[in-house]
Structure 1
Amino acid sequence: MTDSSSPRTAPVRPSDTAVPQGSAMLRSLTGLLTRWLPRQRWFAGKGRPLGGLTVVSATELLPCGSGGPTPGLLHLLLRVRQSQASGAQGPASGDCYQLLLGVRPSLPPSLAPALVGRPAEGPLRGSVVYEALHDPRLAGLLLERLRAPGTLGTLHFGRAPGVSIPSGLPARLLSSEQSNSSVVYGDAYILKLFRRVSPGVNPDLELPLALAEAGSPRVPAPAAWFEAVWPGTMTEPLTLGVLAPFLSGSTDGWQLALHSLSRRADFTSSAHALGRATAEVHTALAAALPTSVLRRPQLEQAATAMTERLTEAASAVPALRPYRAGLRAAYEALGDYARHGGTCVVQRLHGDLHLGQVLRSPDPRGRGCQWSVIDFEGEPARPLSDRRRPGPVVRDIAGMLRSFDYAASQHPASGPWVDAWYRANRSAYCRGYAEASGHDPLEQPELLRAHETDKAVYEVLYEARHRPAWLHVPMAAIRRLATPPD
């Protein structure tokens, strides 16, 4: 889940308009993009007027002004300024977005849904501009660039050592994502393109690379990637896209859980195996990247931050207010845990773990099925620096436990059987985690309860703002969590 009202990412300063007739071309696109951008699913600033567009970089991957039969392909990084929503505090946002635009003399009917507009002036006058990822021909060009590492303008294409990427794989754009875009090539690879970008290595590249180097079989290893770089500047590269193996024949955990519920079938063996997979990923990350220990000052600070988030959420969602005292007790228990000498190891995490972020697919070693963990980007609405910050593994665990609760809520009937399904899978997941890690999350109830509560409070705020029909799901958890444990 994402929350488009979260703090904005830092603006990007370098500017590179290395496109022939670049200024005129970009001026001719401004009006079209100002109308088109807010309608895109991945645009984070819905509901607030655009204050202006600034080009960060512009690179022609294929010439755009020839007017010939070959489509042009323009890569843009745009800084989008927006006014704050009414009553909001703080500066206007300056998010940076990645766009890939195709240019043709006319648009075939199959690409009509991808239309951006028809420039009325400049070198693209008389052409049609459209979302290039809908065009298999242009999406295929990205794969060709990734097959041959190198630099074009501000764009740098890299490839993992020893990886050979086939040419000519057919491209198809997936339609289910919200914050990013993905293109599948044949049944071999999937390219994830980040729409809202900021300086620094995206964890969806950084962590799978670290896990691949550590030999972890639980995460598809990146095959190639591309980024924006400005040599000679202090600006960090921007991760733009990651190409990874496509797990053909896989099913995500959310669909598997719903199928289990619809058939009233056992899911505990799957949940147990998923707990083991989560622990293996956490163990590999802890071995590959630095860890540290939170002691009393840091844990008390964490409890205070959770309390502040509860106060803010209750201010926005009146339904939370009757449960504030009971929920605060979970945070107070975390503070007591710290004052009595409790500690917590922190390390790099997945950051947004739930049933939709795990895939079960045939084991390539012929040993039945195995769980894989994907999408290490974290919560896309959070600043990149926050998403790269180490945290307690219980944060990921709490996210998965809350996801079991969300799945149970989708069953058309409520009652003892559904509640028993949730509790059984919760226990099985924690047992699997304990067996693989040597650490049982249930043995530190103060940590687990505080993070589950914090997650449920976040869910209440998210659902109230974006999916009011789902608000009853986290509110049921709020009522349960506000009751003192036995």
Structure 2
Amino acid sequence: MSALADILREWMPHQRWFGGKGREWAAVEEEGFFLDRSGPVLSVHRVHITYADGGGDTYLVPLSWRDHVVEELSSAFVGAVSGGDRENYAYDAMRDRDATPPWLEHLIAADTVGPMHFHPAGVAPIPEGVPGDIVSTEQSNTSLVYGQEAIFKLFRRLEPGLNPDVEIHAALRETGNVHIAPLLGHIEILDRDPSHDPATVAMLQTFVPNASDGWRLATASVRDLYAEGDLHADEVGGDFAADSERLGAATASVHTDLARVLPTEPADRAWFAAAAQEMTGRLEAALPAVPQLEEHAEGLRRLYARLADSDEPVHRQRVHGDLHLGQVLRTATGWIILDFEGEPARPLAARRQLDSPMRDVAGMLRSFDYAARHMLVEQPEDTQRAYRAHEWAERNRSAFCAGYSAAGALDPCADSPVLRAFEADKAVYECLYEARNRPHWLMIPLQSLSRLAAAG
């Protein structure tokens, strides 16, 4: 093992974007090349990890190199590597502002550097000579904001094939849809195996300044409601229903345009049966880890069985795949939907499959429940707040569905076994996540499953 691979083995498990936490490493291989040799030197490394359980992942790690310790970059320090008669100090290049301009410089020039190819979209100017500031809230990827013009997203875990975020934004560009941030370019890297497709390394989009995060807006509305002891959700100054309705319309608009420019096909009996089988399998796998699910299990099995036997007309198409209030921004003119890569933990091929638009609708409905009930975890016995949370959630869920129905061909307000099954499946996933990470939040998805399982 090289000295750098040894250092990365110690450093990577502590990074937020690393998805293999808790898994034992059996081996690690590292290969890199120089992207920029000016000050500081910038190198890019593919780090392939083999786990003791037999699985493996490949991550992209850009490093900036200094010949001395830089105190203001202490939080980005990766390690020191001996180079002849001196030490070379490696830093996380995404947190080193001096190392961020080369990404855009190479994109502007449509360069090829080593195995990496830069593809500008050619639709708008790309900022030049501007450093990027890291977005600290991300989990699985790393993003940089360049001034007020562009946002650059680095996909840390590499898989062969075009990332859905790039593919869908490029397709929607043809439609002129106003609910996305235009794609300015993307970067690919050749696989070590020439029979594999290149992997998507990064994408650049127009930055949306002065926008408000959907989750923050929704939870602020809930706080306003809780603060008003005698008012209903539709009487509070921070009522969110009009925004929820517009968000439903924006979601339907994106779905409609995706169906215009990317493949679609009607769902057949096999798809309904396979979807129900997958959902049932996830439920059975979650039961040992979350015993509280047992009281809802029979109702959920019946719900999934209804999905398998459903004759509801469903056209499968490309969808967002991980839609929730944290994936949308409200601007002065409307809603922008972000991050079309789907659930990052799922294999890329699965994220590119055709699916029902109801998966996205279900994800947003679950998000409204979370926004309404997350403040109840500290006061679970407060029946007045619980009533108001239910009122807020139902008002905004209904508004979202009404906006979607008015703007699209589907009516999620109807009694849809498909929608209920997707929502229940998402809530089961949430139960497993909360049991492992935030046990005191488990009450949120469990309360929703009481409603969904009863409808089964």
TM-score greater than 0.5 by the shorter chain: yes
Matched, 1:299 2:272: yes
The CA RMSD measured in Å over matched residues stands at 1.7
Amino acid at match of 1:234: S
1:386 corresponds to: 350
Cα deviation, 1:225-278, whole Å, max 9, x if unaligned, reads: 111025992210110000101100001110000111111231110000000000
2:436 corresponds to: 465
Note the residue ranges of structure 1 that are not aligned, 5 or more in a row.
1-25, 65-69, 85-91, 364-369
1:479 corresponds to: 450
Q: 2:440, 2:203 → 1: CA distance?
A: 34
- Offset of residue 469 of structure 1: 2.6
2:369 corresponds to: 405
Cα deviation, 1:283-314, whole Å, max 9, x if unaligned, reads: 00000001011122221221122111111111
2:58 corresponds to: 96
Q: Which moved more, 1:468-477 or 1:121-130?
A: 121-130
Matched, 1:439 2:403: no
2:259 corresponds to: 286
Q: 2:348, 2:169 → 1: CA distance?
A: 16
Q: For 2:413, what is the secondary structure of its paired residue?
A: helix
Cα deviation, 1:48-98, whole Å, max 9, x if unaligned, reads: 22222123x42201239xxxxx321110111111223xxxxxxx2210100
Q: 2:98, 2:184 → 1: CA distance?
A: 21
Q: Which moved more, 1:95-104 or 1:321-330?
A: 321-330
Cα deviation, 1:437-465, whole Å, max 9, x if unaligned, reads: 03211224211111111111111111112
- Offset of residue 223 of structure 1: 0.4
Q: For 1:226, what is the secondary structure of its paired residue?
A: strand
Question: Out of 392, 406, 423, which is 1:452 matched to?
Answer: 423
- Cα distance, 1:376–1:142 mapped onto 2, change above 3 Å: same
TM-score by length of 1: 0.87
Q: 1:127, 1:31 → 2: CA distance?
A: 15
CA contact (8 A) 1:198 1:238 kept: yes
Matched, 1:117 2:79: yes
2:224 corresponds to: 263
Q: For 2:188, what is the secondary structure of its paired residue?
A: strand
Q: For 1:126, what is the secondary structure of its paired residue?
A: strand
Q: For 2:183, what is the secondary structure of its paired residue?
A: coil
Moved beyond 4 Å, runs of 4+: 122-125
TM-score by length of 2: 0.92
1:359 corresponds to: 329
- Identity between Structure 1 and Structure 2 (%): 42
1:132 corresponds to: 93
- Offset of residue 411 of structure 1: 3.3
Q: For 1:386, what is the secondary structure of its paired residue?
A: helix
Q: 1:337, 1:152 → 2: CA distance?
A: 52
Q: For 2:2, what is the secondary structure of its paired residue?
A: helix
1:9-158 to structure 2, matched below 5 A, reads 27-55=2-30, 57-63=31-37, 70-84=39-53, 92-119=54-81, 121-122=82-83, 125-158=86-119
- Cα distance, 1:468–1:144 mapped onto 2, change above 3 Å: same
Q: For 2:179, what is the secondary structure of its paired residue?
A: coil
- Offset of residue 180 of structure 1: 0.5
- Cα distance, 1:49–1:235 mapped onto 2, change above 3 Å: same
Question: Out of 193, 201, 205, which is 2:166 matched to?
Answer: 205
Q: 2:423, 2:309 → 1: CA distance?
A: 17
- Offset of residue 356 of structure 1: 0.3
Amino acid at match of 1:250: A
1:13 corresponds to: none
- Offset of residue 169 of structure 1: 2.1
CA contact (8 A) 1:118 1:125 kept: no
Q: 2:125, 2:186 → 1: CA distance?
A: 14
Q: 1:274, 1:125 → 2: CA distance?
A: 57
CA contact (8 A) 2:191 2:199 kept: no
1:427 corresponds to: 398
CA contact (8 A) 1:310 1:457 kept: yes
Matched, 1:335 2:308: yes
- Cα distance, 1:424–1:124 mapped onto 2, change above 3 Å: farther
Cα deviation, 1:82-132, whole Å, max 9, x if unaligned, reads: 223xxxxxxx2210100001110112221010111112x455951111101
CA contact (8 A) 1:295 1:343 kept: no
- Offset of residue 170 of structure 1: 3.2
Q: Which moved more, 1:275-284 or 1:456-465?
A: 456-465
Q: For 2:44, what is the secondary structure of its paired residue?
A: strand
CA contact (8 A) 2:44 2:60 kept: yes
1:228 corresponds to: 189
CA contact (8 A) 2:212 2:331 kept: yes
CA contact (8 A) 1:334 1:447 kept: yes
CA contact (8 A) 1:253 1:356 kept: yes
Task: Give the number of equivalent residue pairs.
Answer: 437
Q: 2:413, 2:309 → 1: CA distance?
A: 17
Q: Which moved more, 1:38-47 or 1:474-483?
A: 474-483
Q: 1:176, 1:460 → 2: CA distance?
A: 23
1:11 corresponds to: none
Q: 1:462, 1:33 → 2: CA distance?
A: 28
CA contact (8 A) 1:28 1:124 kept: no
